[in-house]
Chains A and B, each alone.
Chain A
Amino acid sequence: MAGFEARSFRGCGVMTSEPFEVSDDNESLQMLTRSSQVGEFYVMAPPQVKPKGDSDHTCDIMIFDEERDLHVRIGWRDAMNAALCKQGSDFLSKYATKPVNNGTSSVTLKSWADKAEAWAKYNEGGEYAATLDKDVRLIVARPFIEHTMHNVIMAVAGRDTGATLFGPADMQLSANTQVKTIEGYANLLNAHTHTHARTHTHTHTHP
């Protein structure tokens, strides 16, 4: 198989895309590499049965820190504070009566914070009590985990799949910033049949 760089992988010819040099001031552009975001969340829950031994850190979790390449302990109280629900906070005062459970119980933000505070004290060495509410949860989310990722285009060889078009190219791109859409129009010559082809496409970009 002919190409810029031809190899074979399990019977398939492989062509590797080469990066484009955009300018001296910018990094080269690799058309098959893009930034990709994923999100994840963790559910922090207090012990569902009374732990044997010490109560310290029984509500904490350990999650992976990719920048430091190690696991980091996320404390119950730290998560509580990050949820802006520290006892006496302005946020808590402002929204004290707002329901937390989407209609599945009568818990308000204030009562949730009181229950979470009771677990925080237990988590720091306090005594276990039957009044501790085991249904309290804290959600820890990492919504913008971003990596540059490689992509692959796999295609059946031959004219049946498509054609390579050569110039003179009339390629126009415009950005519709209001709806974050890029619109493209191309008028090209089919190298095989010498016919013209027009295409008009839209691509949405995501931040």
Chain B
Amino acid sequence: MVTKPQNVLVMRDVACAGYVAGCNTRWFAQGEDGNCTAGNAADAIQARLSFANDDTDRYASMLAFPCMEGQFNSGQLDTVMSVTTRLLPWEVNQAGLHSSFPGGDDMYRVYNAELQLSQVHYGEDMKAAENQDFISQALAPFPNLQPDAQTDAPCSHCA
């Protein structure tokens, strides 16, 4: 049990232990017949995220979206974008618009409906994720061990 968090450094993902999935060049939208449909994409994303194909271990990896150069020039889309219902940190206070999505918020609504992108984070407490509550609530006070070692962000459930 840690009473002085400043003394502890957690270094995540420092070395790769193995490949799992998601870095091949198969399209989510492309079916076995070679045709691309929204239904194929929605099913393939679901299969990939739930590891449904235990027998073949074959999953797709790639999505494609239309876009114009103006979106890069305007700064809406430069180095990062979200292809799920989750907003980028600087989009949270902008009426919840997916400005960084390729083609903008209108294209997000189209592809979200057709590819069922909301299934990626389905059931998640979106507000908690956007506010990074999973970090702020993970710290807890240990009054019996060291009374002066209260953390800056005590767990609200223990108050």
CB within 8 Å of B: which residues of A?
Answer: 33, 35-37, 39, 41, 43, 45, 63-68, 72, 74, 78-86, 91, 95, 98-105, 107, 109, 112-113, 116, 134-156, 160-165, 177-181, 183, 188, 190, 193, 195-204, 206-207
15 contacts between A and B (CB under 8 A): A79-B64, A83-B64, A84-B29, A84-B38, A99-B103, A101-B71, A104-B73, A135-B70, A137-B66, A142-B62, A149-B12, A150-B15, A154-B8, A161-B3, A198-B142
Tell me which residues across on chain A come within 8 A of B99, comparing CB atoms: 102
The size of the chain B interface, using a CB distance under 8 A, is 78
Taking a contact as CB atoms under 8 Å apart, the answer to whether B11 and A102 are in contact is no
Tell me which residues across on chain A come within 8 A of B142, comparing CB atoms: 197-199
Q: How far is the CB of B131 from chain A (nearest CB, A)?
A: 11
Tell me which residues across on chain A come within 8 A of B15, comparing CB atoms: 149-150
Known: A149-B17, A162-B2, A162-B3. A137 touches B114 (CB 8 A): no
Q: Which residue of B lies closest to A165 (CB)?
A: B1
Taking a contact as CB atoms under 8 Å apart, the answer to whether B24 and A67 are in contact is yes
A161 to B142, CA, bound (A): 13
Taking a contact as CB atoms under 8 Å apart, the answer to whether B7 and A160 are in contact is yes
Taking a contact as CB atoms under 8 Å apart, the answer to whether A144 and B22 are in contact is yes
**B88 at interface by CB-CB < 8 Å:** no
Tell me which residues across on chain B come within 8 A of A72, comparing CB atoms: 25
